[in-house]
Amino acid sequence: MGYFDVKIISEHFDVPEAKSLDYYESKGGYRMARQATKTAPAEIHAEVKKSNLRGRGGAGFPTGIKWGFVPKDSETVYLVVNADESEPGTFKDRHILFWNPHALIEGMIVAARSLGVRSAYIYIRGEMLREAPIVQDAIDQAYAKGYLGERCFGSDMHLDITLYRGAGAYICGEETALLSSLEGGRGWPRLKPPFPAVKGLWGKPTIVNNVETIANLPWILEHGGQAFADLGVGRSGGLRVVSVGGHINKPGVYELPLTVTGNQLIEEVCGGMRGGRKVKAVIPGGVSMPVLTPGELDVPFEFDALQTDERIAEVEVSPGVAFDLGGGKTLRTMAGSGGVIVMDEQTDMVSAAWRIVHFFAEESCGQCTPCREGTGWLAAVVKRIDQKQGRPGDVDLVASIADGIAGNTICALGDAAAWPTLAFLTKYRGEFEAKIKSSNYKPRATRENKAS
């Protein structure tokens, strides 16, 4: 069986009428939502736990475990779908929203039944001008059929879904910032704990899940959690929807088994490198994730396989700064948001690093000092290296700034800026040093260096 034969969410991508409720129902859609309204909440939860479904928003946290953090007998529980998708290189949720909005709504009904939710929200990125009306149409169609609102499918369940449009801030994809924004406040992350599952929207228990995470639920209910777990590998169930961009022949959105390696993804799924050039670097899951070299691509692009590897752990980026990401845990990189970026041999890695740190400096919410100041300095120093104005010692300076940010901030945007920087420095250090060597920087004349 080829990679394209097994599909859960993407089966009807590219079919023009796929977004209509009639088409979705003609393919068996909404049967699981109807069934969920008659199923005991704990039974659904047990299947989700069994499925090994892990969050597709970035961290890969097990969904069934997250749902279990909601305090028992909570009177009000909210469900919020994170459709903010602003991580550079990532465009898979946008595709799901465009082609299969009813899978998301059906998944929300399944989740709401299990969690006892009466009000759910979809927080959609403000720039998704094309997708927002499609999702709103799908919600309206579901209301018109009696699948949402009072007595969903004629049952005793009540569920309202509200589509809320963000205003274009990357930080509003971070779950606590998203909740602040949804409450009408500034999109500032909050310290965790308490986690949203305990204290979230308007102080009530709230489950925040990614679009793809939720869209998998109807399949899990239909085929059983075990079948979903069996599709996956190890502690990760199911398939993964990835968006692939960069210097490959066939960029796009693909739903793939978790066993597919980086090399297979490039050669067998994406038709190889553009112009027959060689691979130089691959970012596996959005620009927050450390970059991989060609020698590291023979690994499944799966949560655990990408995360634990000893090879990089011992590397010292610069004196006193180790490439040790995540509280002493040895990480190579992470599967992140599923946004794969492939770079060929002609890519200038210093310019690529600058583009990434510049993004984070622009998007820092400014709340905590290491991130606000550190990302600005990272961008400034990497920019001067890139523009041949680098100074001796700049590589170590960049490493020490990144090291000062990592692990010292309120939310993970700080790590998201620091980790890729340290990876670029470790793996492509020669390119940074070469640019500094050919720098046009001349120290300004001071009394001290005039004298010497």
Ligand X SMILES: Cc1cc2nc3c(=O)[nH]c(=O)nc-3n(C[C@H](O)[C@H](O)[C@H](O)COP(=O)(O)O)c2cc1C
Q: Which of 143, 187, 191, 198 is CA-nearest to residue 366?
A: 187
Which range in 42-50, 254-262, 300-308, 408-416 contacts ligand SF4 by CB under 6 A?
408-416
**Token couple for 202:** 């308007």
Contact between 386 and ligand X by CB under 6 A: the answer reads: no
* Least distance (Å) between residue 430 CB and ligand SF4: 30
Contact between 200 and ligand X by CB under 6 A: the answer reads: no
Contact between 325 and ligand X by CB under 6 A: the answer reads: no
Options 210, 375, 409, 426; binder of ligand X; rule CB under 6 A:
210
Which range in 1-9, 111-119, 408-416, 439-447 contacts ligand X by CB under 6 A?
408-416
Query: Rounded to an integer, what distance in angstroms lies between the CA atom of residue 405 and that of residue 378?
Result: 10
- Non-local CB neighbours of 129 within 8 Å, separated by 6+ positions: none
Contact between 185 and ligand SF4 by CB under 6 A: the answer reads: no
Residues 81-120 that bind ligand X (CB under 6 A): 82, 84-87
Which residue type occupies 122?
A: I
Question: CB atoms < 10 A from the CB of 314, how many?
Answer: 10
Cβ contact 436:392 at 8 Å:
yes
Cβ contact 96:241 at 8 Å:
yes
How many residues form the binding site for ligand X (CB under 6 A)? 23
Which range in 17-25, 28-36, 172-180, 227-235 contacts ligand X by CB under 6 A?
172-180
Q: Which of 28, 88, 23, 83 is CA-nearest to residue 417?
A: 88
Contact between 364 and ligand SF4 by CB under 6 A: the answer reads: yes
20 in helix, strand or coil?
coil
Question: CB atoms < 10 A from the CB of 247, how many?
Answer: 21
Which H helix or E strand runs over 255? strand 252-257
Q: Which of 415, 376, 52, 393 is CA-nearest to residue 233?
A: 52
CB nearer to ligand SF4: give 232 or 414.
414
Which H helix or E strand runs over 161? strand 160-165
Options 64, 89, 166, 173; binder of ligand X; rule CB under 6 A:
173
Please choose which of ligand SF4, ligand X, none residue 86 contacts, taking the beta carbon within 5 to 8 angstroms, the exact cut-off set by kind: ligand X
Options 29, 58, 166, 237; binder of ligand X; rule CB under 6 A:
58
Cβ contact 124:167 at 8 Å:
no
Q: Establish whether the linkage from the previous residue to 300 is cis, with ω within 30° of 0.
A: no
* Least distance (Å) between residue 178 CB and ligand X: 7
Options 197, 357, 410, 436; binder of ligand SF4; rule CB under 6 A:
410
Options 197, 297, 395, 413; binder of ligand X; rule CB under 6 A:
413
Contact between 9 and ligand SF4 by CB under 6 A: the answer reads: no
DSSP 265: I
Contact between 302 and ligand X by CB under 6 A: the answer reads: no
CB nearer to ligand SF4: give 177 or 239.
177
* Least distance (Å) between residue 289 CB and ligand SF4: 17
Per the DSSP assignment, residues forming a β-bridge with 267 are none
Contact between 174 and ligand X by CB under 6 A: the answer reads: yes
Contact between 238 and ligand X by CB under 6 A: the answer reads: no
* Least distance (Å) between residue 216 CB and ligand X: 10
Contact between 175 and ligand X by CB under 6 A: the answer reads: yes
Residue whose CB is nearest to ligand SF4 in the complex, by number: 371
Cβ contact 308:299 at 8 Å:
no
Cβ contact 125:85 at 8 Å:
yes
Length of the chain in residues, anyone? 452
Contact between 409 and ligand SF4 by CB under 6 A: the answer reads: yes
Binding positions for ligand X, rule: CB under 6 A: 55-59, 61, 82, 84-87, 171, 173-175, 208-210, 213, 411-413, 416
Binding positions for ligand SF4, rule: CB under 6 A: 171, 189, 364-368, 371-372, 409-411, 413-414
